[in-house]
Amino acid sequence: MTQQVFVGVDVAKDWLDIHHASRGAARIDNSLAAAHSFAARCAKEGAWIVFEASGGYDHQLRDALEAAGVPFSRINPRQARDFARAMGVIGKTDRVDARMLSELGTRLTPARTAPLPPARRALQAQATRRRQLVEMRKQEATRLQQTVDPEARADISGVIVLLERRIAKVEARMTNLVAADPELAAIDRRLRTAPGVGPIVAATLIAELPELGQLDRRSIAALAGLAPVARDSGRRSGPRSIGGGRPIVRTILYLAALQASRRAAPFIRFRDRLQAAGKSIKAAIIATARKLVVTLNAMLASSTDYPSEAAT
């Protein structure tokens, strides 16, 4: 049986650093032509590519690999860095990162990243843009609180109004993209039967958490960044905390859980029970968000809507 060859690729804005177990290091341009040529060689060899999610700079590589049918794993940068530290590698350069990604593939055999259909990819781009605009609005709101000069405040307020209009337009694009695709529209309709899940929450989950309904409850909670991480040692039992996962998913689920824990009886009781047991408000809402994503995952897995209030 031939051993699977894992090729590590470190993605930068202008180039791709490549590490092949037998051929060593190489560097190519981060261009569509170079990526397609690389993908064709990988397809011929039967290689599996491992690279980090890199804020959009990896889209040409991903497009080329999908077009050539080359399997790849797009992993969380934090996982890659933790693996390198575990291997005793403290230094960080593009070539070192590519070598560590190749080694990670060989030792851990990460899950294959499923190709994104065009509709989901377009939706994901709009979800990313919305996140950017919301962050800009948050920054301007902070500046408004810190500014006393009337003219400066008026200018900042004008920018906030402009950003709110842009956010509304992007949200309209998101809902239109979902409505235009029968598969996404069906998922959207089902998700929105759950408390706290409106059109933007549903569209964001469809875009950023395509694994929803395909994994077990622990895996989906971890992917959403809502799984509690133990910090025990000996007789000491440290406080649990969340981390990792996809920040945009965690944020949107937190907001959805906040609404669900105010309006839906099962989630109200769940949050109240945790707070009565001494949990902080934030910890109780995070636990509610975890309960919500597990519920949504089960709904999609079983092709069932959220039960009516009378049934719960």
Q: What is the DSSP string of 250-281?
A: HHHHHHHHHHHHHH-HHHHHHHHHHHHTT--H
What residue spans define the domains of the chain?
A: 6-108, 118-180, 193-312
Q: How far apart are CA 133 and CA 108, in angstroms?
A: 37
Protein fold of 118-180: Helix Hairpins (1.10.287)
**Separation CA 296–CA 280 (nearest Å):** 24
Q: Answer whether residue 56 shows pLDDT above 80.
A: no
CA 194 to chain centre: 21
- Residue 15 pLDDT: 95
Q: Spell out the CATH class of 6-108.
A: alpha beta
Q: What is the pLDDT, as a whole number, of residue 231?
A: 47
Query: What band does 244 get if pLDDT is binned at 50, 70 and 90?
Result: low
| pLDDT cut 70: percent of the chain above it | 92
Query: What's the mean pLDDT in 60-68?
Result: 94
| Cα separations in angstroms, 137 against 132, 142, 162 | 9, 9, 9
- Comparing 122-131, 145-154, 240-249, 271-280, the range with the smallest average pLDDT is 240-249
Residue 138 clears pLDDT 70, i.e. is over it: yes
Confidence check: pLDDT of 233 > 50: no
The pLDDT of residue 236 is 47
Mean pLDDT of the chain: 91
pLDDT at residue 1, as a whole number: 56
Question: Rg of the chain's alpha carbons, rounded to an integer?
Answer: 22
Lowest mean pLDDT among 27-41, 129-143, 229-243: 229-243
pLDDT over threshold 80, residue 238: no
Query: How many angstroms from the chain centroid is the CA of residue 306?
Result: 24
Q: What is the pLDDT of residues 83-103, one digit of tens each?
A: 999 999 988 899 999 999 999
CA atoms of 71 and 52, how far apart (whole Å): 14
pLDDT given for residue 141 in this prediction: 97
Q: Are 42 and 50 in contact (CB under 8 A)?
A: no
Q: Provide the pLDDT confidence category of residue 43 given band limits of 50, 70 and 90.
A: very high
**Surface-to-core class of residue 304, CB atoms within 10 Å of its CB (0-12 exposed, 13-18 middle, 19+ buried):** exposed
Q: How far is CA 123 from CA 116, 130, 133, 180, in A?
A: 10, 11, 15, 11
* Percent of the chain predicted with pLDDT > 90: 77
CB 261 within 8 A of CB 288: yes
Say whether 118-180 and 6-108 share the same fold.
Answer: no
Q: Are 224 and 253 in contact (CB under 8 A)?
A: yes
Residue 52: phi and psi, rounded to 5, are -90, 150
- In this prediction, residues 173-186 reach a mean pLDDT of 97
Residue 224 burial class via C-beta count within 10 angstroms: exposed 0-12, middle 13-18, buried 19 and up: buried
CB 182 within 8 A of CB 119: no
More confident: 241 or 168: 168
